[in-house]
Amino acid sequence: MRRGTCRTAASVAVAAAAVLTALTAMAADGPIAPPAPLPATVIAIKAGRLLDVRTGQYRSDVYITVEQGRITALGASAPAGAHIVDLSSKVVMPGIIDVHVHTGDDLFDHSAATRMRVSAAQSALNGAYKVHQYLMHGVTTLRDAGETNVYYPQFALRDSIAKGLIEGPRMLCAGMLISVSGGHSDDDTTAVDFGLPKRPNIADTVDELRVAVRRDLKYGADWIKLMASGGVSDLYSDFRSQELSEEQMVAAVELAHRAGRRVMAHAEGTAGIRAAVRAGVDSIEHGTMLDEESATMMAAKGIWLVPTLATFQIEPGTAAGMDAVMLRKLRDILQYQQPAFALALKHHLNIAFGDDDEAQRVGPEFAALVKGGMTPLAAVQAATVNGARLLGLESETGAIETGKSADIIAVDADPLADIGAMKQVSFVMAAGRIISQP
């Protein structure tokens, strides 16, 4: 919902340090060295309570054996010679999958002009800092839900993590935020006599939409992001109104699916939700004015919802840099959120976890889902097995099971008794590498 850029020298310095850490592998007269191999030592994590996120059942005193980044056994004892990680006082569970993140932005600054002041290089540095913060909050897989920088810094970030050059969660990325002129992701906020050249994410016809999608696919998008309705964090759009036409979205879905990619649609207003669902998108982001008709269609088609509840629930006084029109829209949209989410639960929609904010809002998003009517187990499932299914990663992650990637976290208390436990992640392992531990 809200987008911005780093405001403080401290944030930029930390971001730069994250990238410079990777560059220490560079020889003075040679290329960047390959990433350090995974530890050869077998690791055995002693889980005091291991949560089966599929059933909500706990197993006590289980040893999770990890070799070369994979879970190789779950048992009552550790292999001989294994390095023991003692989490006997913790609740152990799969790493969090957050499917709505904007890595290039600083969402503590919401001013309308901020994106015109940040370069692709700065966006990538912001992202290097942000993904590390997400890791520390237990997010081991994330989907970048799209950027408007024309040089795709999120792709560079994703690929650098995959190569081991920087530390971060497994990433999948949407491309640019494809919008109409004056729509939710038209970043030209200048007056008419200072207008900027048209950017490649702006599509006012079906043909222009096809060009924008093909550009995203050409440069490596895993997902296509469409702006089906207006939004909150801009000066021009009305979140109630449909923006991209249904014909445009049909064309986007056809092109993306032909290329083996998927389509997500920012859709807050009812008309935009309905049009995106009829067009066959794979996920609806926000869905803040979902109604009976659109919920029924989504259920019938198996289309996912990523509700991003907490991002709309911030106190207006904390919305730094927001223009008055944005604050007014933020206040207005909240009246629709809970009735829509209740409909989503009533129709048993597929729901995945996304925070659309900063890493510090991961815990509050869990709380918002439960406050909105989900059980704690359902909220945890949205951020584990459900997220893996949405991203097509169910064979790789989302549960602690033999053969899967060792994406493992621990919290200090039982999240099924108190979802607030998700705010305090005390151990993180991502693909077999220990990121933080007690």
The mean pLDDT value for 377-392 works out to: 98
The mean pLDDT value for 301-317 works out to: 87
Helices assigned H by DSSP within 230-288: 246-258, 270-279
pLDDT of residue 15: 44
Q: Which phi and psi angles does 122 have, rounded to 5°?
A: -65, -35
pLDDT band at 12 (very low <50, low <70, confident <90, very high): very low
- pLDDT of 155 higher than 60: yes
pLDDT band at 115 (very low <50, low <70, confident <90, very high): confident
d(CA 373, CA 342): 7
Those residues whose C-beta lies under 8 Å from the C-beta of residue 230, and which sit 6 or more positions away, are: 183, 184, 236, 237, 238, 239, 240, 241, 243, 268, 269, 272
Q: Are 53 and 384 in contact (CB under 8 A)?
A: yes
pLDDT digits (tens, 9 = 90+) for 59-75: 999 999 999 999 999 99
Those residues whose C-beta lies under 8 Å from the C-beta of residue 259, and which sit 6 or more positions away, are: 217
pLDDT of residue 11: 42
pLDDT of residue 256: 98
pLDDT of residue 188: 84
- pLDDT of 24 higher than 90: no
The vertex-4 CA angle with 10 and 172, nearest 5°, equals 95
Percent of the chain with pLDDT over 90: 76
Q: Which helix (H) or strand (E) holds 223?
A: strand 223-227
Say what the pTM is.
0.90
Average pLDDT value over all residues in the chain: 90
pLDDT band at 405 (very low <50, low <70, confident <90, very high): very high
pLDDT band at 197 (very low <50, low <70, confident <90, very high): confident
- Highest-confidence range of 11-25, 176-190, 331-345, by mean pLDDT? 331-345
Measured in Å, how far apart are the chain's first and last C-alpha atoms? Answer: 34
The mean pLDDT value for 238-257 works out to: 97
pLDDT digits (tens, 9 = 90+) for 81-98: 999 999 999 999 999 999
The mean pLDDT value for 38-60 works out to: 93
- pLDDT of 20 higher than 70: no
- pLDDT of 80 higher than 90: yes
pLDDT of residue 37: 63
Q: Are 71 and 401 in contact (CB under 8 A)?
A: yes
Which contacts of 396-400 are long-range, i.e. CB under 8 A and separated by 24 or more positions? Answer: 397/94, 397/95, 397/97, 397/140, 397/141, 397/170, 398/53, 398/94, 398/97, 399/52, 399/53, 399/54, 399/94, 400/50, 400/52, 400/53, 400/64, 400/71, 400/74, 400/92, 400/93, 400/94
- pLDDT of 210 higher than 50: yes
- pLDDT of 76 higher than 60: yes
For residue 197, the one-letter residue type is: P
Those residues whose C-beta lies under 8 Å from the C-beta of residue 150, and which sit 6 or more positions away, are: 120, 176, 199, 200, 201
pLDDT of residue 4: 40
Q: Which domains does the chain have, with CATH numbers?
A: 43-95+399-436 (2.30.40.10), 96-357 (3.20.20.140)
pLDDT digits (tens, 9 = 90+) for 348-376: 999 999 999 899 999 999 999 999 999 99
pLDDT band at 326 (very low <50, low <70, confident <90, very high): confident
The vertex-230 CA angle with 226 and 232, nearest 5°, equals 115
The mean pLDDT value for 259-288 works out to: 98
- Highest-confidence range of 25-39, 183-197, 313-327, by mean pLDDT? 183-197
Percent of the chain with pLDDT over 70: 87
pLDDT of residue 323: 79
pLDDT of residue 31: 56
- pLDDT of 183 higher than 70: yes
Which contacts of 75-84 are long-range, i.e. CB under 8 A and separated by 24 or more positions? Answer: 78/44, 78/46, 79/42, 79/44, 81/42, 82/41, 82/42, 82/43, 82/44, 83/39, 83/41, 83/42, 83/43, 83/44, 84/44, 84/46
pLDDT of residue 19: 44
- pLDDT of 18 higher than 50: no
- pLDDT of 57 higher than 60: yes
Residue owning tokens 């889980």: 47
| For the chain, the helix, strand and coil percentages under 3-state DSSP, each to the nearest 5 | 35, 25, 40
Least Cα distance to 98 among 365, 325, 372, 349 occurs for 365
pLDDT of residue 164: 93
pLDDT of residue 33: 55
Q: Which helix (H) or strand (E) holds 326?
A: helix 324-346
- pLDDT of 3 higher than 70: no
